[in-house]
Amino acid sequence: MPRREEYVEISPSDFFYRNKDIAGFDNPVRATYMIVRELVENALDACDRAGRAGNIYVAFRGKGSGVFQVEVLDDGIGVPEDEIPKAFGKVLYSSKYVLRQSRGTFGLGGTMALLYGQITTHEPFEVCSSIGDGYAARYRLRIDIQNNKPIVERKQRIKVPPGATFTLVKLTFEGNYERAKGKILEYLKQTAIITPYINIVFRDPKGAIYVFPRATTKLPEEPKESKYHPYGVDVEVLKRLISETKTRNLVSFLSKSFQSMGRQTAIKVLKKARLDPEKNPRKLTDRELVKLVRALRSYDKFRAPDASCLSPVGEEALEKGIVKELRPEFVKVVQRPPSAYEGHPFIVEVGVAYGGGVPATGDIVLYRFANRIPLLYDAASDVAYKVIRKIDWSTYYVDPARTPMAVFVHICSTKIPFKTVGKEFIADKPEIAREIELGIRECARALRSYILKKIAKQRIVERYKIMRKYYEIISESLSEILGRRIDPTPVLKRIAKPAGEEVSENGEADNRENL
């Protein structure tokens, strides 16, 4: 008798429940870190959207036997009352499905954190938020895993001062704080570097308070939503654009939906694809869709993608972030001009810090950021690591084995080319690697001239010290011969040039290298 397999459909939340490791929740330590990270990132996004220098408070409380309660409070934009259940209780529900730079992409991580709490402790979670209308909505929620639906257990409206916007998420989960502590603090520190305009306060389960104060109130410019660049589309993106368009023919569709595309260009592209410009885009067959994508990608006269949808931190702000968290002796930050890989615009920001409070590890400390998120794992596989290894640092008068030195690489893009689902390291796209290298070299040149100046200054100081020793001998012997004290002070004053005066001799070294 033939047997029939049973087939069932699973919901997105069910899928992620079964594949926790994909989102990084594969063990209690990693999950503890991931929960902080995901909730803090949502809070950061909320602050950015509010357009002001925000505050974030994170607090852990131990509940015994590995159970913790974590609270994350931000004074960001807030979530509208009616969106709260879905925004927090449904996987793949988000305001982030537009083409602009943001921290997460799919609204997945935050919900994963809540889901993880629910499955480890079977406790509901709480969300309380206000968008500034004088009321806050307070929900107690669960996720219906099988149906990917929020279950509202309790809902309250609370009066709050008008204009106050905030979001508070409270969640109970089973984890391991002790072992995750290092990563969590490192994550917060690096977050403080890359978002120097946010105050972060962290309370650990023992009540210790860590404060990462803001160094500036100036926010980076909000990223603008932008149209797709023709090089960056695939059939799926094309289908979605067609489903959203109000246009009725291909020429209008192309020129309205893509950047760098006027009617003339659209006609040329369509000619290349051998498609009728007057055809209704909704009537394209799958074969024609593929033809259109190929034509879009092979047309070679498009301008580079528009980078206004990107929001780099800015040289000044990143420098402030680095200075406040590391207190280095020297820092140089460079923002590279926008560039693009495979139709995706990106901007690279690079910093080099030297000496002072930079951790002395015997090697360059690499801080990686993607869309203002610190990347803490798998550094050795990252494109930035490879670039650093390629550089001969002795050219810049530094020995990474002996001098504490840190390199910061921030990549912002509408699509960061992460190499794995874990989103911890970036693939070595040649365009990105090149921008990173140019940025690092520019910083390193500044570092070199700083070091040369320092060496020159030290030489002057050393020289003076030696001079003084010899003049002491001279003075002693002369006094002995002449029978009266010869004081060397007048001549030493004359000889001791103010430190820094001889520096120009070496200053020219800056131009030695041509890239």
Partner 1 sequence: MEKLTIEKIYEIAEKIGEMIERGEPPLLEYPPASTSNIEFSEHEGYKFAPKYWSKILGSHIKSVKTLAGVIFALERCLDHMKSGLTMTKRDFYYLHKVEKFKGTLFPSDQRETDTRIVLLELITGLSREMLSITSDPRGEVYGDITLVDKSGNTIKLNKVGEMGYAVPPNPEHIKFKEINVKAVLAVEKVGPAKNMIELKIPDEYNIAIAMLHGQPSRSMRRFLRMISDKGVPIAVLVDLSPWSIRIASTVIYNSIHSAHIPGLATPTAKFIGIHSSDVEEGGFFEKVSKVALEPLTEEDLKCAKDNLSIPSLMGKTWIRENKWFLEKKKKAELEIFKAMIRKSSELKDLYIRYLNMKFEEHLNLSLKE
Count of positions on this chain that bind partner 1 (CB under 8 A): 22
Contact call for residue 471 and partner 1 (CB under 8 A): yes
User: Residue 417 Cβ, how far from partner 1 at the closest point, in Å?
Assistant: 55
User: Residue 465 Cβ, how far from partner 1 at the closest point, in Å?
Assistant: 10
Q: State the virtual CA torsion across 275, 277, 278, 280 in degrees, nearest 10.
A: 60
Contact call for residue 495 and partner 1 (CB under 8 A): yes
Stretch that binds partner 1, among 51-59, 300-308, 342-350, 467-475 (CB under 8 A): 467-475
245: nearest Cα among 227, 229, 224: 227
Identified binder of partner 1 from the candidate list 21, 178, 221, 487, rule CB under 8 A: 487
What's the rounded Cα separation, in Å, for the pair 424 and 378? Answer: 6
Q: Which amino acid is at 96?
A: K
For partner 1, the closer of residues 458 and 477 by Cβ is: 477
What's the rounded Cα separation, in Å, for the pair 332 and 302? Answer: 34
What's the rounded Cα separation, in Å, for the pair 170 and 91? Answer: 18
Contact call for residue 477 and partner 1 (CB under 8 A): yes
- Listed in sequence order, the residues at least 6 apart from 489 whose beta carbon sits closer than 8 Å to its beta carbon are none
What's the rounded Cα separation, in Å, for the pair 229 and 301? Answer: 12
Contact call for residue 401 and partner 1 (CB under 8 A): no
DSSP bridge partners of 446? none
Element (H, E) at 264: helix 263-272
CA 126 to chain centre: 28
Identified binder of partner 1 from the candidate list 280, 473, 504, 508, rule CB under 8 A: 473
Cβ–Cβ < 8 Å for 410, 372: yes
Q: Where are the alpha helices (DSSP H) in 372-429?
A: 383-390
Contact call for residue 498 and partner 1 (CB under 8 A): no
Identified binder of partner 1 from the candidate list 6, 493, 498, 514, rule CB under 8 A: 493
* Tokens standing for residue 290: 């593929």
Cβ–Cβ < 8 Å for 293, 285: no
Identified binder of partner 1 from the candidate list 153, 359, 395, 470, rule CB under 8 A: 470
Contact call for residue 98 and partner 1 (CB under 8 A): no
Mask of contacts with partner 1, 195-234, x by CB under 8 A? Answer: ----------------------------------------
Stretch that binds partner 1, among 91-99, 139-147, 447-455, 460-468 (CB under 8 A): 460-468
For partner 1, the closer of residues 360 and 473 by Cβ is: 473
Contact call for residue 380 and partner 1 (CB under 8 A): no
Identified binder of partner 1 from the candidate list 463, 499, 506, 509, rule CB under 8 A: 463
Contact call for residue 506 and partner 1 (CB under 8 A): no
Cβ–Cβ < 8 Å for 217, 53: yes
Contact call for residue 491 and partner 1 (CB under 8 A): yes
User: Residue 489 Cβ, how far from partner 1 at the closest point, in Å?
Assistant: 9
For partner 1, the closer of residues 272 and 459 by Cβ is: 459
435: nearest Cα among 305, 341, 331: 341
What's the rounded Cα separation, in Å, for the pair 408 and 406? Answer: 7
User: Residue 454 Cβ, how far from partner 1 at the closest point, in Å?
Assistant: 19
Contact call for residue 503 and partner 1 (CB under 8 A): no
Instruction: Please spell the DSSP secondary structure of 283-315, one letter per residue.
Output: G--HHHHHHHHHHHHH---PPPPP-TT-----H
What's the rounded Cα separation, in Å, for the pair 306 and 46? Answer: 25
Identified binder of partner 1 from the candidate list 208, 209, 211, 481, rule CB under 8 A: 481
Contact call for residue 458 and partner 1 (CB under 8 A): no
User: Residue 496 Cβ, how far from partner 1 at the closest point, in Å?
Assistant: 10
Contacting residues toward partner 1, per CB under 8 A: 463, 466-467, 469-471, 473-475, 477-478, 480-482, 486-488, 490-491, 493-495
